[in-house]
Structure 1
């Protein structure tokens, strides 16, 4: 009797191979002695396999790339620089690697979320527009054709920014009381809340009040950032319901989001928009606050703009 191969065996195998390409870059919340296998990521494996079943490109959504930090001690300016270029190139390369084992390939939709909470992080909306527009320019110039940018302008057009934020918040954001309860009860939610609070404190460079008042303000705003981030995530899921959800934040194994590390950094929470890139003497790159990078290296300009540091 001939061996019967289940109809879903090949898509599952290909889906596992695709997921194996992502695993070395997984940004996780734990420190397991042995990296988790692809089978432990059932949410992602199921969605990737669904695309393979259809013979369609695998679509990933990645909320992030919102805008640069407003703290000049952390970043080189308000526009994308070498940190973003390296990160975008990494994502595009990941898609081309997938294409080698699965010809329909993959694409990543960068869901730029700066306008969603720009008022809470004290970044002007025109800086956020300029950042997202420059991301698109960088992608075109670098030939990163597996990437695209999705932001509130794609949903709500040219409405005033405050109106856009209010509409997204009112429709999608969780209730504040429920979120506070979750943060008190859930370790992952608490870690996210503390991480965002820390970023808000660090990103405030012009505070004239007391340190305790700043911390109170940032703790309050952190809840708002999480509310808006959740709202943005639900909006993305509504518009891209079948996509594989990536995250720039550390995520637990087996969770619905796959945390992905874009570039090397000492802190797992560091992103290109909160830091500057340093080119090490051994040829590798890392991210760190601009002030720290300036102590270690010298500044390189590209196209008339600050780009990155090269180690002395």
Structure 2
């Protein structure tokens, strides 16, 4: 690669870091210039971009800040942001990224009052998230105990070993006078005292005022001394890594500030919880006590969402009508995956699903992909279902009408289509293969003009003897589990699909494997699983795929195996067994769905919404 190409690549990678992960700095400042030099050196040497982030020690001891001592959605979102940056760089830069999260728990363990068992639970959860994103090759979690100087010491000894071996004696001896005379040191000391007074509030509230002040002062001085020791250790072990920080540093600092959440806010996952505001579709990083105060002062309900047997995040739900606030308090929320599959359960079977604000439903569906309302008042007939769902938009009209009754139904000795049989269905999205009579011409009708944004499945009854699970793929998660090079290759690959006409199909349709979901910045997987005579003999309806365009793939069989492996990874795939009365909304742009074979009676009513910018038939 010539000098000009190297400079262009360096500039591109430099821009990605500020666009996706770091706080922007003025180009002429020392910090920005240093980062550019660090990136350029790695590119010139054809070495991975190496980053070091001291962070993720453990959850705060304060019950007023976090949902529990376990990792939750706050950390998941933060790690997702790191992974997203890594994947973007991998797609452009062959050597890729080596990113180290260095847990500083043992650095400050004496002062934060958290038991080591909580740290190990937290670290285990953090490593599990890295595995969930399939990013172990680039993203590593480390701590003092992973290095020779500390490996033989107990948890409570490592803090003193760090101070003894790497501490700055001169700094420690002069710290008191520096606090008194140096404005920057005094400012840092005062801010740290204030922060730790809040963090340790419940532990020190029984002390006298003087004792509280002395304890907080001791903590602040101790943490400043330990911070210097940690810096010296990290400089020795990672001298060439790009040093990141979760603290706000000035433009002339050699440490580059990471922003996990909204621009301009410097909040850490381990001192906050995440609230999804359903009225706006945005997350809010905040202390738990502030979330409770918001509920008391506003027309909304704050409800916990559970995942993996613990509180995972909070929902801020707008109250849509009088008396709805009390009703919403008796609904439970849980996720099937870290960020997908929201189950909404009512203990009152007389409660109408219209208790939920329509805008809130849209934002929840956009974020979590699928909403399952369970235990709500059932719909007596199709007219009442259509009356409620029509509030969300116009219906897609098929030759048989808007509502498709999906149940096993023979016509003579056979089934008319795979959908109305008892057999399994391949992964797909709705309207992947519209029938000819709809007049959809892909040369003039873009994907977003004829593909429903969402659809409804109402489980009228489910009396299956076996099987009949709905199989689901989170298509926003799937690209993040891929190495950037693989993602780039799939992004540049288009497949053509065909099937005979039943009530759908009849014309070959072509789509890229990865695309941006309409109305979002989310990259999603679009894939119709092959269902042919070789792999599914005896099926009612077969569908076939071919590679239409790709600079990487030539063998459709091999590519299909890769796609199947990607889609069915545990991070991306889950199943749902619908119960009678379930009202399920599925985001058609961000999910794929299928079905396992079944025996017995299973009846679903399906309605799809017209796209907002619908295609006019040709």
Q: TM-score range by the shorter chain?
A: 0.7 to 0.9
Following TM superposition, by how much is the alpha carbon of 1:129 offset from its aligned partner in structure 2, in angstroms? 2.0
Within 1, Cα distance between the matches of 2:263 and 2:270?
13
| TM-score for the superposition, normalised by structure 2 | 0.46
Alignment match, 2:276: 279
The 8 Å contact of residues 247 and 257 in structure 2, kept in 1 or not, is answered as: yes
Name the CA distance, whole Å, in 2 between partners of 1:258 and 1:75: 26
Q: How many pairs were matched up?
A: 300
- Does residue 197 (structure 1) correspond to residue 193 (structure 2)? The answer is yes
Structure 1 residues 50 and 202, CA, compared in 2 at 3 Å: closer, same or farther? same
CA distance in 2, matches of 1:19, 1:180: 40
Q: How does 1:208-223 map to 2 (within 5 A)?
A: 208-223=206-221
Q: Which residue of 1 aligns with 2:128?
A: 137
SS of the equivalent of 1:83 reads: helix
Question: Structure 1 pair 11/213, CA: closer, same or farther in 2 (3 Å)?
Answer: farther
Distance verdict in 2 for CA 1:53–1:177, change over 3 Å: same
**Structure 1 or 2: more strand by fraction:** 2
Q: Give, in angstroms, the shift of residue 233 of structure 1.
A: 2.1
Give the 5 Å matches for 1:260-271.
260-264=258-262, 267-268=265-266, 270-271=267-268
Counterpart of 1:299 (choices 285, 296, 304) is: 304
Q: Which residue of 2 is the match for residue 246 of structure 1?
A: 244
Deviations 1:216-235 (A, max 9, x none): 31122111112112212221
Alignment of 1:152 onto 2:160: no
Q: Tell me the TM-score normalized by structure 1.
A: 0.87
Q: What do the CA deviations read for 1:161-182 (whole angstroms, capped 9, x no partner)?
A: 2322111111112232333444
> Deviation digits for residues 179-237 of structure 1, max 9, x if unmatched?
34444555544443233222210111132113443133112211111211221222122
**Which has the bigger relative contact order, CA under 8 A and spacing at least 6?**
1
Contact 2:50–2:97 under 8 Å retained in 1? yes
1:59: how far off? 0.8
Match of 2:157? 163
- Mean alpha-carbon deviation: is it higher for 48-57 or for 9-18? 9-18
Q: Of 219, 223, 226, which aligns to 2:224?
A: 226
Superposition pairs for residues 105-116 of structure 1, below 5 Å?
105-116=96-107
Q: Secondary structure at the match of 2:203?
A: coil
Aligned with 2:166 (options 153, 168, 172): 172
Q: Deviations over 1:101-152 (max 9, x none)?
A: 3232223200001111111111112211221122112211232333110101
Q: 1:14 aligned to 2, 9, 28, which one?
A: 9
Tell me, yes or no, if the aligned pair for 1:278 and 1:285 is still in contact at 8 Å: yes
Structure 2 counterpart SS, 1:36: coil
Is this contact kept in 1: 2:305–2:314, CA < 8 A? yes
1:240 and 1:184 mapped to 2: Cα distance? 33
Q: Check whether the contact 1:27–1:251 (CA below 8 A) recurs between aligned residues.
A: no
Question: Which residues of structure 2 form unaligned runs of 5+?
Answer: 296-301, 318-618
Question: Which has the larger displacement, 241-250 or 217-226?
Answer: 217-226
SS of equivalent to 1:299: strand
Partner of 2:602: none
8 Å CA contact 1:19, 1:38 repeated in 2 = no
> C-alpha offsets along residues 13-47 of structure 1, whole Å, 9 cap, x if unaligned?
4333222222244448xxxxxx5127652222222
Which is higher, the Rg of structure 1 or of structure 2? Answer: 2
CA distance in 1, matches of 2:182, 2:43: 35
Q: Which moved more, 1:218-227 or 1:291-300?
A: 291-300
- 1:51 corresponds to: 42
**1:102 matches 2:93:** yes
Q: 1:12 to 1:255 in 2, by over 3 A?
A: farther
Which residue does 1:36 correspond to in 2?
Answer: 26
Corresponding residue of 1:31: none
| Distance in structure 2 (CA, Å) of the matches to 1:119 and 1:154 | 19
Structure-2 residue corresponding to 1:289 = 287
Correspondence for 1:61: 52
Q: Larger helix proportion, structure 1 or 2?
A: 1
Q: In structure 1, list runs of 5 or more residues that go unmatched.
A: 29-34
